[in-house]
Amino acid sequence: MPTPDRILDGLEALTNEWRPIAAWWHAYFAAFAVACALGWRPRRRLAAALLVPPLLSAGALAWWAANPFTGVFLPTLGAAVVALAWRLPNRPVRTAPVVILIPAFGLLVYAWVYPSFIVTPSIVTWLVAAPVGVIPCPTLAMGVAFALLLDGLDSRSLSVLLGIPALFYGLFGTLRLGVVLDWGLVTGALLLLLIAALLARRRAAARLT
């Protein structure tokens, strides 16, 4: 595995070399968010599938930064999400209760402006070109945020599938790489895993009634 310094250098290079790609993913998620705010409720298969392309993007760019682990892992995660979602009942998603919406929105903002590794004093760059779809942590944070906003996609399995890798990358970023900002991803991942546990309890209660 590359050394922490080499990983950090690669993340910084990706963040600053591929800002146009990040800007595209900001537009992508902005369209997703606006559509949901206006009342669109995609079916679960589509909602899950919409979270996959940014994972593929970040995975592909990881190869450019000589990070084969992420280059393999993120596309594999994306494929697993699609495969699992395809087996779910294809009904529309629903929004989470307010108690979840508030931290979910906070996580979305965190991913949207993720300032680590950006070499610029411009706040505008943070707003339109923070490295979503370019490096793993903000990409996973954005996916977790949307999963939370949509009540875990009403799937315990999908919530776990997204939550565990997010928790791993968040802990790796904080404890191994020293990126304090990644505690935000850890918090979001733990919240999504909590949602997964609540969904499991909800289904167990439904079977007993």
Position 102 in a domain: yes
Residue 208 has pLDDT above 70, yes or no: no
User: Which residue type, as a one-letter code, is found at position 14?
Assistant: L
Q: What is the pLDDT of residue 180?
A: 95
Position 128 in a domain: yes
pLDDT digits (tens, 9 = 90+) for 32-42: 999 999 999 99
User: Which residue type, as a one-letter code, is found at position 117?
Assistant: F
Taking only Cα atoms into account, the Rg of the chain, rounded to an integer number of angstroms, comes to 17
Instruction: Work out the mean pLDDT of the chain and round it to a whole number.
Output: 92
d(CA 135, CA 191): 22
Residue 116 has pLDDT above 90, yes or no: no
pLDDT digits (tens, 9 = 90+) for 42-94: 999 999 999 999 999 999 999 999 899 999 999 999 999 999 999 888 899 99
**What are the residues whose beta carbons fall under 8 Å from the beta carbon of 80, sequence distance 6 or more?**
161
Position 209 in a domain: no
The model carries a pTM of 0.94
CA-closest candidate to residue 50, choices 167, 133, 138, 136: 133
Position 77 in a domain: yes
The total of structural domains in the chain comes to 1
Position 40 in a domain: yes
What secondary structure letter does DSSP report for 177?
Answer: S
Position 71 in a domain: yes
d(CA 94, CA 73): 29
Of 26-30, 141-145, 199-203, the poorest mean pLDDT is in 199-203
Residue-range definition of the domain harbouring residue 95: 4-204
Question: Please, which pLDDT band fits residue 126 given cuts at 50, 70 and 90?
Answer: confident
Q: Where are the alpha helices (DSSP H) in the chain?
A: 4-17, 19-37, 44-50, 52-64, 68-86, 98-112, 123-129, 136-149, 156-171, 183-208
